[in-house]
A and B are shown apart, each in its own frame.
Chain A
Amino acid sequence: MIKVKNLSKSYVKNKALDDVSFSLSEGEILGFLGPNGAGKSTTMNIITGYISSDSGTVEIDGIDILEDPSAAKKKIGYLPEQPPLYNDMTVQKYLEFMFKLKKVKLPMKEHIDKICETVKISSVQERIIKNLSKGYRQRVGLAQALLGDPPVLILDEPTVGLDPEQIIEIRKLIRDLGKKHTVILSSHVLSEVQAVCDKIVIINNGKISAEGMTSDMTHTGSSTQRLELIVEGRRQNIISILTKVDGVTDVTDQGECEKGCYEFAVDSSRDVRRLIFRAIAKTDYSILSMKPVEVSLEDTYLSIISGKAEEVKNNVSDI
């Protein structure tokens, strides 16, 4: 549905995007992660046609955005970081305007009312946007993105500024939307991405650092697996044995839990349970407990960002 190939964009001072590529199938929800200035908004702006890339292509449902921009833009609903609201209009008038701007062919009144219901802004439809709270403004922005039922939704930090209750609502909404739309979602909130998205792309300094299905990235988090061990024995020896195990990247001493027994957190690049078992078994120390710890996306993310891990490129099937 969405194919981004070799996008590059530089400004005078810096290279904002360097050969960015990824793709998304119909009905998938993509989470776009990265620190500030990584290039998320730039990428989204290019996909939606707000700015143009220096090189590379973007295809929406097979339509090249440079060759037929109108047709491509018709398929996208975009909620930018700052929702493009006209402060001097009422919500209703604004949505009617955006409706006409996007050349939507559906019955206007019903469609707008339905979307307002979905996004829960029906109560403020007649109010002037300037007078609305941040949460409502965000939702109006989301409403305009939904106008016309576009097959692709691109949402730049859609839950920012909302209260926890609203955030949960919006996440649910996005998940529902994901059933019928293709969504790209950018966020700082990793738990949100983890909860909502099927696929994750991590971008850093204009380059894609990681790309893969959410499930893959959290469970078999490429570079980090973590085991929590309780071993009875001599602390120093245990540490040196563990460190020597092939695949172990880090051993953290977490202190004494029972007399003579120490807790350790062992990070490794692959599954080292058996090796540890045998290594300890060679000594007369005992493993009292060994369990894998769910590596959160946060860990994966941070390690990627800090550059500790190798790049991972899962095989992503081209549609």
Chain B
Amino acid sequence: MSEQEKNINEEKNPSASNMTRRNKRRIISIASICLVLAAVILVNVIASVLTDRYAVFTTDITSDNSFGLSEESVKIAQGVKKDVTITFLTDKVNYEAYDTYCKQATNIADQLKKYSDGKISVEYKDLLKNPNIENEYKSETLSVTDVLVTCGEKYNLLKVEDMFNFELYGDYQYISSSKAESAFDTAIVKVTSDTETKIGIITDNTEDSYSTLESTLAANNYTLVPFSIENEQIPDDVATVICYAPTKDYSKDATDKLRKFLKNDDKYDRGLIFIAYRFEIECPNITDLLYDYGMKLEDGLAFETQTTSMMTTGDAYRNIAANFSSTKPYMSNYTDKDFPVLVSMSRAVTLVNESTTEPLLMFSSESGICPYSATDDWVWQDYITGNVIVMAQGAAGGDNGISRLIFSGSTEMWNSLLTQAEFTNKKYILNILNDINHREDTGVYLSEKVITKYDLSSVDSQTKVVTSVIIYAVLPVLILGVGVCVFIVRRRK
């Protein structure tokens, strides 16, 4: 078509070409916006999926790698072969809102997930919205700040004190550092572990519950095998037996069985833990057994008068902090020497054979034993003997190995007091059990992570104040001053 014809054409249909050109433009414009929007959304979705799944897409630029995983953790995560679930008992937003350290903890959980190639998953189930979780873990007291690590039937409950270290600032308790990474690692190792050590527990005449002990042990791959010493044989695959607060004496047969068990055909290497019932019982056989291992069972309950050892002032028998009596045994790897073990309503022993026995836990120099026969008008000062032994160990053995009979005077120490956060009952007991059963402490101990280092406390406050004032007062005024000057100069231009 020649120019002229084209022109005429356009002239003839000016309105038609008007509409098309503008509408065409409009359509192209809207289409391009939609296209770009779709592309942007797509890119973001892909990026978010990748970031979530693979750890390589997240970098931690903090110099001490506060948010990253240490090599051990990575190895553990990569080595997980079973399905593990980490469940936070509240929403992610709520949990992270408590403290920066909490954010770090969720981050660590996420990273563990990323390195596990799908084996570890992280969930957030608000305890308040899912009360049925409490039913699944009846022996535990769950709280929204807890974290559950589960693998099949096995579980490990991580409480805040397991994950973080607290310090006091006046009345206010704040998190000073985090051991969340170790806590997660340990929990993962434990729930995925195949090792299962059996510990026998004698049920004859046992009235007290040991449910907390059982769940604590289960969380550390120990299974309690209850049996009756009177009627049954001691199970073969058991290297440790617990006598849990019998309210009556054992028969001679029973104690002989225990002696034989400990001797183990001269192979030894066994453990017997005798946990005393708090009230007076006639138990000549038990007393004999203890005596064979160098310990004399004393009549009465141990009491404490030093107020610093009492959790409740005035209550001399309950909740007393017992001190470790020496640096060994069980102490060489022990990291919590400064935190005492809590003991309650405890009987006591005295040691008759210095060479084969050792005290493990003692009361202070202002303690004594109140005999069962004491009346209301007894004078306690007369009964102060000091350094009352509430837990002791007698050993027997030879070159092949050593068997130990551990006497513990307090039942509560092994059950209800296991969950007290400020005391180390759990750790201590596990320490002992691990030692006897030749189990490596499967805990993973990494250096604690500190996000907020209070490193300016050494700078004198005057410097701090002056510097601050310079920044928030002097500088802005200077800037505004420059502005005013420029303004004045330009007025005249």
- Which residues of A does B touch, CB under 8 Å? 5-6, 8, 10, 18-19, 54-56, 90, 126-128, 131
Please state if B10 and A131 are interface contacts (CB–CB under 8 Å). Answer: no
The 8 Å CB contact of A54, one of B7, B18, B490, is B18
* Complex CA–CA separation, A56 to B21 (angstroms): 10
Q: Given A6-B14, A55-B14, A55-B17, 14 other A-B contacts at CB below 8 A? A: A6-B7, A6-B10, A6-B11, A8-B18, A10-B18, A19-B11, A19-B14, A54-B17, A54-B18, A55-B10, A55-B18, A56-B10, A128-B490, A131-B493
Per-residue A-contact encoding for B3-26, CB less than 8 Å = 1, 0 else: 000010011001001100110000
Q: Which A residues are in CB contact (< 8 Å) with B490? A: 128
* Complex CA–CA separation, A262 to B7 (angstroms): 54
B491 to chain A, nearest CB (A): 8
Which residue of B is nearest A6, CB measured? B10
Please state if B493 and A90 are interface contacts (CB–CB under 8 Å). Answer: yes
Q: A6-B7, A6-B11, A6-B14 are in contact. Are A54 and B22 (CB under 8 A)?
A: yes
Would you mind naming 7 contact pairs between A and B with Cβ atoms under 8 Å apart? A5-B7, A6-B10, A8-B14, A55-B17, A126-B493, A127-B493, A128-B493
Q: Which A residues are in CB contact (< 8 Å) with B22? A: 54
Q: For chain A, what secondary structure do more than half of its interface residues adopt (helix, strand, loop), or is it mixed?
A: strand
Please state if A54 and B493 are interface contacts (CB–CB under 8 Å). Answer: no
Which residue of A is nearest B490, CB measured? A128
Q: Which B residues are in CB contact (< 8 Å) with A6? A: 7, 10-11, 14
Q: Which B residues are in CB contact (< 8 Å) with A90? A: 493
Per-residue A-contact encoding for B213-236, CB less than 8 Å = 1, 0 else: 000000000000000000000000
Which residue of B is nearest A128, CB measured? B493
Q: Which A residues are in CB contact (< 8 Å) with B10? A: 6, 55-56
Per-residue A-contact encoding for B482-493, CB less than 8 Å = 1, 0 else: 000000001001
A288 to chain B, nearest CB (A): 52
* Complex CA–CA separation, A19 to B11 (angstroms): 8
A57 to chain B, nearest CB (A): 10
* Complex CA–CA separation, A8 to B20 (angstroms): 13
Q: Which B residues are in CB contact (< 8 Å) with A55? A: 10, 14, 17-18, 21
Which residue of B is nearest A55, CB measured? B17
299-355 of chain B: CB within 8 A of chain A: none
List the 9 closest A-B pairs by CB distance, nearest first. A128-B493, A54-B18, A55-B17, A54-B22, A55-B18, A127-B493, A6-B10, A55-B21, A54-B21
* Complex CA–CA separation, A8 to B17 (angstroms): 10
10-45 of chain B: CB within 8 A of chain A: 10-11, 14, 17-18, 21-22
B93 to chain A, nearest CB (A): 47
* Complex CA–CA separation, A131 to B7 (angstroms): 50
Which residue of B is nearest A127, CB measured? B493
Q: Which B residues are in CB contact (< 8 Å) with A126? A: 493
Which residue of B is nearest A9, CB measured? B18
* Complex CA–CA separation, A131 to B492 (angstroms): 9
Which residue of B is nearest A19, CB measured? B14
* Complex CA–CA separation, A255 to B167 (angstroms): 115
Q: Which B residues are in CB contact (< 8 Å) with A54? A: 17-18, 21-22
* Complex CA–CA separation, A10 to B17 (angstroms): 12
449-480 of chain B: CB within 8 A of chain A: none
Q: Which B residues are in CB contact (< 8 Å) with A19? A: 11, 14
* Complex CA–CA separation, A6 to B21 (angstroms): 14
Q: Which B residues are in CB contact (< 8 Å) with A56? A: 10
* Complex CA–CA separation, A127 to B490 (angstroms): 9
Which residue of B is nearest A318, CB measured? B3
Which residue of A is nearest B3, CB measured? A5
